[in-house]
């Protein structure tokens, strides 16, 4: 059996597994006692209770339930949506579910971002109140580890956490010695926390519609590396920095970036970064600030240096494309095609950066 045949067989097995997981949840829905389920399946009681919670969510998320039944969505991705919508009432959860007909084409990380956007849209006020409550649960934990080591973890506001992480990486990137990347990150973290006096050199970029800035809508904003944030937080962040105009079409896709402050090459790069926001490889959510802007069709092969032929790739996917293991094209219609060594083709396109206006 060749590699492609094995890959196709793997997909079929995966579909059967997803369908079997749906059947498992249907059975769990009919059993009242989680202790009985735990004994039957030789699983911890907590896992049995979670099965019942997932089973109860089938009625709240009928579109996703149908995808599971048909073997197109696995339980892990269903659980992502269940957790993100568990604080919504049934009507709002179904509104989110109704807009997830394409969920089978998204991996768990992509689904997390998309559901976060939809939750902000269907329940903007609730999103803000949930964030306030979550911030009150912020904490830092210390756990001793073997060999004289320890683990220090922080649960805090996502925007602040992303800024800290980006700053650590930026500082570590300036160190030119034989320490591992992890050592550099850890040493920078210690230096920052113990008062090295280093200046802050990273920024937080938020994409938000002018209607939201003016308080006319409650559409969420978007922060690369974080995801969608509620309108009030987006306004707060936007009010703290410089603004850049981005023109969009009727469905919210960017069609131009203000060039008043920049020479055309810089403006072209800015446009591509605003349009794509993450690595173009399917399922990769590496923020565009950590990517290289590269040609879909190589410059040496006649590829143009324009918005139709440029896009961001993280280091891993840039390497795979450059050495020819994977092929990437972007059509005139904006459709991106990623072709694997086994001949499988995956299609995607950049997502709108603003909610479409009313017809």
Q: Residues 235-268: pLDDT tens digits?
A: 777 777 666 666 565 556 665 554 333 233 677 7
Confidence of residue 91 (pLDDT cuts 50, 70, 90): very high
pLDDT of 36 above 70:
yes
Residues 163 and 116 in one domain: no
pLDDT at 179: 95
Q: Range of 193's domain?
A: 157-200
**How far, in Å, CA of 62 to CA of 22, rounded?**
12
Domain boundary among 165, 200, 235: 200
Between 309 and 112, where is the model more confident? Answer: 112
List, in sequence order, every residue forming a beta bridge with 271; answer none if it has no partner: none
* Residue 261, domain member (yes or no): yes
The DSSP string of 93-123 is HHHHHHT-TTGGGS-HHHHHHHHHHHHHHH-
* Residue 68, domain member (yes or no): yes
Give residue-wise pLDDT tens across range 191-213: 988 876 677 676 677 777 777 77
**How far, in Å, CA of 232 to CA of 219, rounded?**
10
57, 82 Cβ separation under 8 angstroms: yes
pLDDT at 182: 94
Strands (E) located in 161-277: 206-207, 221-223, 227-229, 246-248, 254-257
Residues 63 and 15 in one domain: yes
* Residue 149, domain member (yes or no): no
pLDDT at 248: 62
Residues 174 and 94 in one domain: no
225, 162 Cβ separation under 8 angstroms: yes
Residues 169 and 112 in one domain: no
Taking alpha carbons only, the member of 42, 53, 110 closest to residue 82 is: 53
Q: How far is residue 92 CA from its own chain's centroid? A: 22
Residues 105 and 193 in one domain: no
SS3 sequence of 6-47: HHHHHHHHHHHHHHHHHHHHHHHHHCCCHHHHHHHHCCCHHH
Between 63 and 236, where is the model more confident? Answer: 63
List, in sequence order, every residue forming a beta bridge with 330; answer none if it has no partner: 336
pLDDT of 121 above 60:
yes
Give residue-wise pLDDT tens across range 211-229: 777 677 778 888 777 778 8
Q: At what angle do helices 3-30 and 45-60 cross, to 10 degrees?
A: 90
* Residue 145, domain member (yes or no): no
pLDDT at 167: 92
Q: How many domains does the chain have?
A: 3
The DSSP string of 251-267 is TS-EEEE--TTS-HHHH
* Residue 28, domain member (yes or no): yes
Confidence of residue 175 (pLDDT cuts 50, 70, 90): very high
H or E stretch covering 41 = helix 34-41
Between 330 and 155, where is the model more confident? Answer: 155
H or E stretch covering 151 = strand 149-155
Residues 14 and 112 in one domain: yes
pTM: 0.67
pLDDT of 181 above 50:
yes
Judged by DSSP in three states, 77 sits in helix
Residues 46 and 103 in one domain: yes
* Residue 57, domain member (yes or no): yes
CA dihedral 166, 167, 173, 178 (to 10 degrees): -110
* Residue 214, domain member (yes or no): no
Domain boundary among 101, 122, 143: 122
44, 34 Cβ separation under 8 angstroms: no
Domain boundary among 142, 167, 200: 200
Residues 12 and 68 in one domain: yes
Residues 111 and 181 in one domain: no
The single-letter DSSP state of residue 300 is: G
Residues 7 and 118 in one domain: yes
24, 18 Cβ separation under 8 angstroms: no
Rounded percentage of the chain residues whose pLDDT exceeds 70: 88
Q: Report the largest interatomic distance among the alpha carbons of the chain, rounded to a whole angstrom.
A: 68
pLDDT of 146 above 90:
no
CB atoms within 10 A of CB 332: 6
Residues 118 and 162 in one domain: no
């Amino acid at each position: 059996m060749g590699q492609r045949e094995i890959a196709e067989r793997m997909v079929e097995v995966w579909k059967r597994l997803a369908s079997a997981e749906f059947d498992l949840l249907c059975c769990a829905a009919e059993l009242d006692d989680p202790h009985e389920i735990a004994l039957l399946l030789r699983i911890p009681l907590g896992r049995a209770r979670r099965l019942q919670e997932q089973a109860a969510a089938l009625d709240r998320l009928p579109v996703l339930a149908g995808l599971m039944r048909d073997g197109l969505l696995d339980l892990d991705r269903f659980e992502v949506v269940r957790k993100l919508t568990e604080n919504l009432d049934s009507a709002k959860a179904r509104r989110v579910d109704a807009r997830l007909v394409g969920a089978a084409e998204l991996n768990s990380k992509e689904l997390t971002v998309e559901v976060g956007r939809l939750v902000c849209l269907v329940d903007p006020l609730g999103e803000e109140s949930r964030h306030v409550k979550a911030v009150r649960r912020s904490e830092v934990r210390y756990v001793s580890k073997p060999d004289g080591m320890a683990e220090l973890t922080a649960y805090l506001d996502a925007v602040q956490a992303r800024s800290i992480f980006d700053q650590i990486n930026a500082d570590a990137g300036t160190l030119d010695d034989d320490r591992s990347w992890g050592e550099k990150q850890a040493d920078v973290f210690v230096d920052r926390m113990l008062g090295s006096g280093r200046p802050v050199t990273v920024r937080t970029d938020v994409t938000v519609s002018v209607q939201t800035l003016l308080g006319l809508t409650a559409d969420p904003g978007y922060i690369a590396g974080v995801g969608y944030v509620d309108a009030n937080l987006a306004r707060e962040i936007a009010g703290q920095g410089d603004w850049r105009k981005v023109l969009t079409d009727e469905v919210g896709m960017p069609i131009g970036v203000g060039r008043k402050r920049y020479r055309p090459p810089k403006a072209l790069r800015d446009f591509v970064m605003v349009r794509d926001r993450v690595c173009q490889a399917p399922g990769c959510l590496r923020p565009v600030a950590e990517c290289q802007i590269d040609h879909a069709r190589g410059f040496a092969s006649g590829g143009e240096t324009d918005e139709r032929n440029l896009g961001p790739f993280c280091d891993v996917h840039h390497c795979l494309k450059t050495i020819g293991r994977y092929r990437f094209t972007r059509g005139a219609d904006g459709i991106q095609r990623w072709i694997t060594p086994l001949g499988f083709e995956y299609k995607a396109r950049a997502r709108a950066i603003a909610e479409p206006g009313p017809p």
